[in-house]
């Protein structure tokens, strides 16, 4: 079965550009991959184009005026068990916040009934918010994290699911007893998740749900544990790694005191073989130039979590500078450091963060002027869109599979509606109608206006349909 969509499509191209295609024809094959794309088809050309593609009688999904398709959002960093705490704790900074609110909540996931009901609602909400690929931290519990992976698998979201490794510097009620138990549980989770997808993955593609190695952060892990995790990933280089780095100044000081032989925070991870091209580093608010160079050399990616960085008073990550340096960057919600489950909110705060950063007039005198394309400036709409989609895909090592539309890539997509009936004020009414008789240039401008309004004042009411690997799995139309 092939599904063919006809209507406006937004396709990210690079950090500085995207295509706005008001009359695009896009076909999805039976495996859920994009089959072909014809970028500009006038209504009177529709039948002949379908015939030329060998699909004269195809059933075409005709988008309504005020609807458009974009690649699904990629959340490169969130904590599923912290969702019940979302919206609280903004009076704390990181280390106090962990002790006071976060560890007590995560400890509750020892109760698998609580885990099952909480995770079912968390994953549904995340899908309905338009997140088609999600990097989830679970808790330290093996059983609860298996349940999280099971739920993600059954709902059809694309995700990386990790069990926190943490064997020190947390309260006695919430810490792993030994290196062995931590590593064995990690191996058990890897086997469980890989068995889940055995039956369903197409041979040439990575499965939808994958395990990810999750040393919570250096403070939580002894040298021995980090060393064991380093050897685990060297045995199996396809394994992704996710962790936190340089989020908060007190955290950095404490980290360096725990690892006296390392000269930097990034150096700690690197010394255990944990800085790899498939490592996702969350926050990176306070990196030194040496650390930036090291991360660049290793090819690791940054998960920019601006909402959390504001909320926990961590600071403002100089994302424009990282982009100038050529680091891979995606966006993360970091719930419940962040107070919103939606990548739309991360986009909005990434925009604000870049402006705050530009006010501080960061000293980038070490850079050649030609390298300063992004630092000390607002991030443009193409850049924000890219970070939320293709940039996140690169951070996850999925750049050939998701993040934009191209033949052979997975159809992970959102059908967005800015129509009046979406119920949040008729963003479309303000941005104008495509159906009126306008030039091609004006059509593109209108579509760009819809996208901009959606990114800055849209919410899950505007996300009608969510597709992962061609499958309709969520959104407003799925619920009703
Ligand atoms: N560092 C270690 N654990 C956490 C966490 O749960 N959230 C955030 N934001 N930072 C962390
Ligand atoms: Fe986090």
Q: What is the pLDDT along the chain (480 residues), one digit of tens a residue?
A: 689 999 999 999 999 999 999 999 999 999 999 999 999 999 999 999 999 999 998 889 999 999 999 999 999 999 999 999 999 999 999 999 999 999 999 999 999 999 999 999 999 999 999 999 999 999 999 999 999 999 999 999 999 999 999 999 999 999 999 999 999 999 999 999 999 988 655 556 799 999 999 999 999 999 999 999 999 999 999 999 999 999 999 999 999 999 999 999 999 999 999 999 999 999 999 999 999 999 999 999 999 999 999 999 999 999 999 999 999 999 999 999 999 999 999 999 999 999 999 988 655 555 566 678 999 999 999 999 999 999 999 999 999 999 999 999 999 999 999 988 888 766 777 677 887 788 999 999 999 999 999 999 999 999 999 999 999 999 999 987
Backbone angles phi, psi at 275, to 5 degrees: -100, 100
The ligand minimizing its distance to the Cα of 95 is 1
CB 369 within 8 Å of CB 361? no
Distance 216 CA to ligand 2 centre (A): 8
Residue with tokens 């997808």: 197
Nearest CA to ligand 1 atom 3: 216
The SS3 of residue 53 is: coil
Q: How many CA atoms lie within 13 A of 327 on its CB side?
A: 30
What was the pLDDT predicted at 426? 65
Distance 426 CA to ligand 2 centre (A): 34
CB 171 within 8 Å of CB 99? yes
Total count of residues recorded for the chain: 480
Q: Which domains does the chain have, with CATH numbers?
A: 3-71+405-479 (2.30.40.10), 73-395 (3.20.20.140)
Q: How high does pLDDT run on average in the chain?
A: 95
**pTM greater than 0.90 (yes/no):** yes
Distance 281 CA to ligand 2 centre (A): 10
* 220-225 LR contacts (CB < 8 Å, sep 24+): 220/164, 220/165, 220/166, 220/167, 220/168, 220/169, 220/170, 221/165, 221/166, 221/167, 221/168, 222/167, 222/168, 222/179, 223/259, 223/272, 224/179, 225/165, 225/167, 225/179, 225/182, 225/183
- Say whether the peptide bond before residue 336 is cis (omega within 30 degrees of 0): yes
Question: 397: how many CB neighbours lie within 10 A of its CB?
Answer: 21
The ligand minimizing its distance to the Cα of 247 is 1
Residues 196 and 473: their CA atoms lie apart, in Å, by 18
Ligand 1 pocket, mutate which of 247, 306, 340 (most atoms under 8 A from CB): 247
The ligand minimizing its distance to the Cα of 78 is 2
Question: What would the pLDDT profile of 233-276 be if each residue is shown by its tens digit?
Answer: 999 999 999 999 999 999 999 999 999 999 999 999 999 999 99
What was the pLDDT predicted at 198? 80
410: left (phi over 0), alpha (psi -120 to 50) or beta: beta
Distance 282 CA to ligand 1 centre (A): 9
User: Is the reported ipTM for this assembly greater than 0.95?
Assistant: yes
Q: List alpha helices for 272-399, DSSP H.
A: 289-298, 306-311, 319-324, 343-359, 381-386, 392-395
Ligand 1 site, CB within 6 A: 79, 94, 98, 102, 216-217, 244, 247, 308, 334, 337
Nearest CA to ligand 1 atom 9: 337
Distance 287 CA to ligand 2 centre (A): 17
CA 418 vs CA 33, 66, 107, 222: distances in Å? 26, 5, 41, 50
What was the pLDDT predicted at 434? 85
CB 7 within 8 Å of CB 24? yes
């Amino acid at each position: 079965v092939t599904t063919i969509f006809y209507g406006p499509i937004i396709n990210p191209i690079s950090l500085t550009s995207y295509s706005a295609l008001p009359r695009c024809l896009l076909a999805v094959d039976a495996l859920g991959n994009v089959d072909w794309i014809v970028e500009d088809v006038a209504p009177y050309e529709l039948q002949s184009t379908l015939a030329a593609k060998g699909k004269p009688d195809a059933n075409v999904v005709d988008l309504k005026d005020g609807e458009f398709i974009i690649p699904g959002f990629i959340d490169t960093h969130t904590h599923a068990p912290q969702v019940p705490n979302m919206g609280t704790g903004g009076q704390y900074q990181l280390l106090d916040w962990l002790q006071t609110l976060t560890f007590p909540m995560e400890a509750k996931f020892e109760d698998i009934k609580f885990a099952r009901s909480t995770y079912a609602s968390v994953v549904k909400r995340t899908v309905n918010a338009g997140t088609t690929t999600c990097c989830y931290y679970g808790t330290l519990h093996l059983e609860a994290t298996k349940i999280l992976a099971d739920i993600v698998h059954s709902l059809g979201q694309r995700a990386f699911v990790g069990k926190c490794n943490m064997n020190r510097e947390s309260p006695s009620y919430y810490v792993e007893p030994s290196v062995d138990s931590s590593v064995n549980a990690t191996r058990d989770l890897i086997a469980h998740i890989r068995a889940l997808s055995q039956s369903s993955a197409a041979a040439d593609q990575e499965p939808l749900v994958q395990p990810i190695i999750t040393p919570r952060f250096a403070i939580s892990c002894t040298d021995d544990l980090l060393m064991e995790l380093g050897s685990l990933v060297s045995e199996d280089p396809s394994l992704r790694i996710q962790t936190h780095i340089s989020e908060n100044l007190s955290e950095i000081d404490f980290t360096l005191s725990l690892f006296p032989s390392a000269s930097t925070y990034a150096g700690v991870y690197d010394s255990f073989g944990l800085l790899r091209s498939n490592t996702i580093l969350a926050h990176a608010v306070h990196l030194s130039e040496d650390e930036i160079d090291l991360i660049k050399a290793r090819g690791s990616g940054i998960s920019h979590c601006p909402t959390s960085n504001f909320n926990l008073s961590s600071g403002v990550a100089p994302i424009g500078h990282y982009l100038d340096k050529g680091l891979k960057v995606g966006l993360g919600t970091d719930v419940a450091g962040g107070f919103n489950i939606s990548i739309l909110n991360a986009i909005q705060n990434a925009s604000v963060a870049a402006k705050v950063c530009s006010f501080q007039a960061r000293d980038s005198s070490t850079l050649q002027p030609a390298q300063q394309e992004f630092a000390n400036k607002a991030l443009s709409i193409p850049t924000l869109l890219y970070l939320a989609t293709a940039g996140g895909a690169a951070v996850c090592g999925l750049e050939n599979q998701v993040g934009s539309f191209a033949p052979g890539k997975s159809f992970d997509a959102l059908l967005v509606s800015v129509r009046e009936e979406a119920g949040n004020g008729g963003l479309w009414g303000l941005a104008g109608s495509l159906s009126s008789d306008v030039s091609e240039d004006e059509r593109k401008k209108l579509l760009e206006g819809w996208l901009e309004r959606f990114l800055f004042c849209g919410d899950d009411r505007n996300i009608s349909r969510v597709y992962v690997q061609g499958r309709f799995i969520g959104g407003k139309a799925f619920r009703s």
